[in-house]
Amino acid sequence: MSGPDGAQPLLRVRNLRKFFPIVKGVFSRTVGHVRAVDDVGFDVHEGETLGLVGESGCGKTTTSRCILRAMAPTSGEMLYRRRDGSTVDLAPLSRRELRPLRAEIQMIFQDPFGSLNPRMTLFDNVGEPLLVNGMSNRGERMDRVAELLRLVGLRPEFMHRFPHAFSGGQRQRIGIARALSTNPRLVVADEPVSALDVSVQAQVLNLLLELQQRLRLTFLFVAHDLSVVRHISDRVAVMYVGQIVELAPTKSIFERPLHPYTAALLKAVPVADPRVPAGDVLLKGEVPSPASPPAGCYFNPRCPFADERCRREAPVLRELATGHSVRCHHAERLQLAVPQERIDPAGRSG
């Protein structure tokens, strides 16, 4: 399937699973599995931003670490289309086979403090991927690092300083420069603005949007903050207990969610307008453990619409409208509209 403007998928993830064994006792007996990623599938089109949202522990980071092959998935396919048009499944590749792909798929981390080496200058931090990818000439690397720092809005003279001399937002820019050093095509960003203050967050989001257009980057953007994901994404996938429960264009998912969990999640976001009344708390209870998810639909213990079938039979992700998929038996019969004042731009932001 091709994207809305005919763009080809750059990455196709199918039936991705990552189970972590739970081991006990002196003989390290496996007594069960954490189903951190449990049958995840989606496409990422060239040049788009796919947002991945969900609450803590739902499997966002594990999904991105599988795609980056920071870990091997338990099963599934991750079909990546290379620059020359050929397609390669990232899942079974060995370290050596992955090496040429590392330059094309890069990562931006959540923690601008932990992701840089404090004992290395910006030149070494940003230039390291270049060195690894064979740019051994120091002068050449300096030029490239200077160019990258300028690209992310930092002064090239900064390259001889150490990370501790920079603020959170500046460190996140350094992390972005590092990720872009090898001219990647796919950038996986795991909570890249979560640690930043509102005003700094806006600067970094603007930078990401601008770089995406200039360099025709494709983003998989992982975050738990719904307004941030809404702002940056073309399409959004919502995860719950290791599974995608809904996937749709941003506007559809925020205005006409089809999954009861998505609707509850949207209602839980406090709106920055005192004239909008706080929504009723409709989600009770807690997220089940991915080590022992309930039978049937994983959402059924908390779902106000659950019936006998939901407790027995696990729903599959199915396309209900063009490009809008949902994992719920009853989606077409539910009335889940988001209250108008929560989406109507007639208020302050209009």
Partner 1 sequence: MTGGPLLSVRGLKVVFGLDEGSVRAVDGVSFDVMPGQVVGIVGESGCGKSVTTKAMLQLVDPPGRIAAGEMLFRRAGGDAVDLARLDPRGREIREIRGAEIALIPQEPMASFSPVHTVGEQIVEAIRLHARQWRPEGGAVSRADARAIVVDLFRDVGISMPEQRLDSYSWQLSGGLRQRAMIAMALSCKPRLLIADEPTTAIDVTTQAQVLALLRDLQKRHGTAIVFITHDLGVIAQMASHVVVMYLGRVMEEGPVDAIFHAPRHPYTRALLRSMPGMRGETRVALPTISGTLPHPFNRPAGCPFHPRCEEAIAGRCQARVPVLRPVGGGQSASCFLHHDEAEAT
Are 287 and 319 in contact, with CB atoms under 8 Å apart? Answer: no
Give the β-pairing of 235-240 and 105-108: unpaired
Amino acid, res. 340:
Q
Q: Report angle CA 178, 182, 188 to the nearest 5 degrees.
A: 65
266 binds partner 1 (CB under 8 A): yes
What is d(CA 266, CA 306) in angstroms, rounded to the nearest whole number? 19
Residue 253 sits in the site that holds partner 1 (CB under 8 A): no
Site string for partner 1, 8-47 (x = CB under 8 A): ----------------------------------------
340 binds, among Mg ion, ligand SF4, ligand ADP, none (CB under 5 to 8 A by kind): none
Q: CA distances (Å), 221 to each of 81, 133, 316, 336, in order?
A: 19, 25, 24, 26
- Site membership for ligand SF4, residue 240 (CB under 6 A): no
Residue type, 266: L
Please report whether residue 64 would count as binding Mg ion according to CB under 5 A. Answer: no
Which of the ranges 36-44, 103-111, 246-254, 292-300 carries the binding residues for partner 1, by CB under 8 A? 246-254
Give how many residues touch partner 1 by CB under 8 A.
Answer: 58
Smallest distance from ligand SF4 to CB 310, Å: 3
165: left (phi over 0), alpha (psi -120 to 50) or beta: alpha
Q: How far is it, in rounded angstroms, from Cα 315 to Cα 193?
A: 33
Helix (H, G, I), strand (E, B) or coil at 205: helix
Q: Does the protein bind ligand SF4 through residue 175 (CB under 6 A)? A: no
**Binding to Mg ion by residue 61, rule CB under 5 A?**
yes
Q: Does 63 bind Mg ion (CB under 5 A)?
A: no
Which C-beta is closer to Mg ion: that of 61 or that of 262?
61
Nearer to Mg ion, 56 or 335 (CB): 56
Instruction: State the DSSP string of 56-82.
Output: TTSSHHHHHHHHTTSS--SEEEEEEE-
- Judged by beta carbon, residue 58 or residue 146, the one nearer ligand ADP is 58
- Residue (61 or 170) nearer to partner 1, CB: 170
For 112, 140, 170, the CA distances from 158, given in Å and listed in that order, are 17, 17, 11
Q: Residues in the site for partner 1, rule: CB under 8 A?
A: 49, 55-56, 167-170, 197-203, 205-206, 209-210, 224, 226-228, 230-234, 250-251, 254, 264-276, 278-279, 281, 283-284, 286-287, 342-345, 347-350
Query: Which residues are at the interface with ligand SF4 (CB under 6 A)?
Result: 260, 297, 299-300, 303, 305-306, 310, 315, 328-330
List of residues contacting Mg ion (CB under 5 A): 61
